[in-house]
Amino acid sequence: MVRQITKDDMYDAVAPDDFAAMIEVDRYAGRATAFDKIISATHDHFWDPLDKKYIDFDVSFDLENEPLIPEDFVPALQTKLVDEHLSGKERTRFINEVARWQISAILHGEAGALALSASLVHILRDQGAQEYAANQAREEARHVTAFSKYIQSRWGAPLPCGPTLKTLLTEMVNAPEVYKKIVGMQMLVEGLAMGAFATFFKESNDPVMRHLMQLVMTDEAFHHKFGKIWADRTVPHLSEEEHNIVEDWAAQCFQTLLFNLVNPEQMKELYADFGLNWEDVMAAFLEVATDDERRKRMEESTDIFRVLIKTLLNAGIITDRTRDLYATYVNMDELRAEGDTMVGDAIAEEGIGFLQRVNFGKDEAYSLNARATAAE
Ligand SMILES: [Fe+2]
Ligand SMILES: [Fe+2]
């Protein structure tokens, strides 16, 4: 039995196969205006991954000799086992294969976001909300193309989706409940993505990757806002029982994402390729990953779990019921004091400036591209 939790008419939903409800005469009367600005902004930050004036995937990178990302972003290298096992070119290859796995996970996430926003079009009755979702689907489609092109240019093909992420994405895409889709995808996966993109943007050694991250972020910053609007209009009106349902779903998604990112079982083929057994790597992880160390890593404001927790906290979804689950990883009071500026907003804004110049101006059109290359 499907249970929709609807507190604002603009999120009213029908069953995915109930197209008849979409052509009922009455339903055309309703069109929320809450998303109009996001929908019209899409023209300002338009970009095309197949057009070199926005991004050039033919710029090469020396994968054999240069690591794409710093060693800090490869948790396995913090363990004694993996650290001592790999050196020289094999170590560089390992770092770059981990980066390939991470970017592939992002690509699968983008495919999930595309299918999910399209699925919202099938169930949301409000025309404004539907147009928002259709617009997001279009933007997610270009992210799928862009990450596919990037992976092709660097490695030829992506790595398969880890089983945990695959299960979660499938559940969200197929869920008929609006709250599951919005909390799971718009708030958590999109929040995780913003944190990951910001990190890659700041730390990657590859100018093409950095530029790609910034372009994607110009779109994602708005997707994240859609989740925030839902939360603002829904969370304060939930009954205790409804709040528990939403809070538990958020905690379940959070734990799944955390597990996917840190558990070596999710990338066992990759370890095998380097002569490492994933169970040994897991044991090595348990030796070093004390909560204190994790907490230290989380102090970086771009830390992806931190971004996730902040998203849920600002939305009012976390209460004392599940607080301890998150407090293990981050100082909750400190996080609350930071307010609701999201990591990555400034990067996205700068990216939009670049796109406005490319789309509407002539002079500085290539400056950001040039800057990304010059910073190398
Ligand atoms: Fe996306
Ligand atoms: Fe998105």
Proximal ligand: closest to the CA of 135: 2
Query: How many Å lie between the centroid of ligand 2 and the Cα of residue 104?
Result: 16
Q: How far is the CA of 136 from the centre of ligand 2 (A)?
A: 7
| Helix, strand or coil, per DSSP, at residue 321 | coil
The 3-state secondary structure of 120-161 reads: HHHHECCHHHHHHHHHHHHHHHHHHHHHHHHHHHHHCCCCCC
pLDDT of residue 192: 84
Say if residue 314's pLDDT is above 50. Answer: yes
Ligand nearest to the CA of 110: 1
The ligand that comes nearest to the alpha carbon of residue 141 is 1
What span, in angstroms and rounded, lies between the C-alpha atoms of 172 and 167?
A: 9
Instruction: List pLDDT tens digits, range 91-136.
Output: 999 999 999 999 999 999 999 999 999 999 999 999 999 999 999 9
pLDDT tens readout for residues 342-360: 778 889 999 999 999 999 8
Q: Count other C-beta atoms under 10 Å from residue 84's C-beta.
A: 8
pTM for the predicted model, two decimal places: 0.90
Judge whether residue 370 has pLDDT over 80: no
Q: What is the DSSP string of 56-121?
A: -TTS---TTTS-SS-GGG-GGGGSHHHHHH--HHHHHHHHHHHHHHHHHHHHHHHHHHHHHHHHHH
Ligand nearest to the CA of 109: 1
The pLDDT of residue 1 is 67
CATH of segment(s) 63-374? 1.10.620
Going by C-alpha positions, the residue among 122, 305, 277 that lies closest to residue 199 is 305
What would the two tokens of residue 222 be?
């708005």
CA 109 / ligand 2 centre spacing (Å):
9
Tell me: pLDDT of 300 over 70. Answer: no
CA of 107 to the centre of ligand 1 (A): 9
- What is the structure's pLDDT at 318? 93
220 CA to middle of ligand 1, Å? Answer: 6
Cα(186) to ligand 1 centroid in Å equals: 10
CA–centroid distance, 31 to ligand 1, in Å, is 25
Q: Is the pLDDT of residue 287 over 80?
A: no
